Structure 1
Amino acid sequence: MRAKKSSDLISPAGLIKLMTHAMMGAALGLTFSIALILCNPAVASLINHGGSQAAAVFALTLVTTFAIGATLTGVVFILAEDKQS
């Protein structure tokens, strides 16, 4: 019987991989929010009429959503790598 191997997700290298995925998601979310504000006049108008904090809330919402999604995707990728090796 084989000894059960610890998951790569719990190791320091796994946490660094997860943080990397989260940072990539945050960067992608920020890029997408800025592009959406600059390229879509309807969104720019809504943010312009939304008050002083509207742009920050819009950008932070997209950054957080993309970061969480990329982190969960990273978890799936790391677990899939564990099963293959």
Structure 2
Amino acid sequence: MNLLISKWGNSLAVRIPAEYLRHVGLSEGDQVEASLTVDGGITLRAAKWDRRAFAEEIAHKRDAMPMTEPVIDELRRGAR
């Protein structure tokens, strides 16, 4: 199926037929992952939220943060 690229605000958009969306189980507001293929194509896939992967990512980022003195302690010292 050929689809038309249209202007949407300052961006460009492609309308996906409702039949396609129903077939893959997507609806308005769902997120998709876009990737480029080696032959110059664009692939869209439903972006499934993985709770475990999200928790691991947050834990990794938290562990990478430097531990410093609590801000409240700095404020208390400055108030004295």
TM interval, shorter chain, is: under 0.3
- TM-score, L = length of structure 1: 0.25
Q: Report 1 or 2 for greater relative contact order, CA contacts < 8 Å, sequence distance ≥ 6.
A: 1
> TM-score normalised to the size of structure 2?
0.26
The answer to which structure has the higher strand fraction is 2
Which structure would you say has the larger Rg? 2
